Structure 1
Amino acid sequence: MGSRANTLAAIERRVRRIGRPFGVSLLVAEKRNPKIEAHGGYMLRDDDSFEIVFGNAGYDFSASLEEIEEFLLESRTAMREEIKGKKKR
């Protein structure tokens, strides 16, 4: 039996969950073109300002799902380190 944990829908849900504490939403390109298909098809948008925070380098929807997840995980690690630093003061 195949695992459903690594299906596209499951990965998108995981990325949305990771992004929730940052106040960002995962956007998926509805109209795909060859350029988007070759590189990604995802962006992150700030929920308050509606500004794109990741995935628009050069053109919209330029990030892959893996790049988005990596960006969020690195951000989460940086946030934890910052909190630890403030607690030590």
Structure 2
Amino acid sequence: MSSRAGTETARLRRLRRFGHRRGYTILAAQRPASKVAGGGYMLSLDATFKPVLGDEPIPYSASLDEVEAYLEALEDEA
């Protein structure tokens, strides 16, 4: 019997719920481009729609680990 709890997709869903409760949206690149090395995600603030992570130096440059660390840092501040 296999479990999907530890998959990348399940992790992304969990982080999206976590971020949504704090007013953030995780955006994923529709097509992985060769420019997006090791990333593919961007985090934006819902209130202003401004990206706060993963937009520099190119859009969708954050990894899922970086998004998770950013959201966990928000949790530690609260």
Instruction: Give the TM-score taking structure 1 as reference length.
Output: 0.79
Which amino acid in 1 is paired with 2:31? K
- Consecutive unaligned residues in structure 2, runs of 5 or more: none
| Equivalent position of 1:21 in the other structure | 21
Matched positions, count: 78
Q: Given that residues 45 and 53 in structure 1 are in contact (C-alpha distance below 8 angstroms), is that contact kept between their aligned partners in structure 2?
A: yes
Whichever of the two has the greater Rg, that structure is 1
Identity of aligned residues (%): 41
Higher helix proportion: 1
Q: Given that residues 24 and 44 in structure 1 are in contact (C-alpha distance below 8 angstroms), is that contact kept between their aligned partners in structure 2?
A: yes
The Cα of 1:13 is off from its aligned counterpart by 0.7
Instruction: Give the TM-score taking structure 2 as reference length.
Output: 0.89
- Say yes or no: does 1:57 pair with 2:52: no
Which amino acid in 2 is paired with 1:57? E
Q: Structure 1 stretches (4+) deviating beyond 4 angstroms?
A: none
1:34-88 CA-partner distances (Å, limit 9, x unpaired)? 121x221000111121100111120100111111011101111111xxxxxxxxx
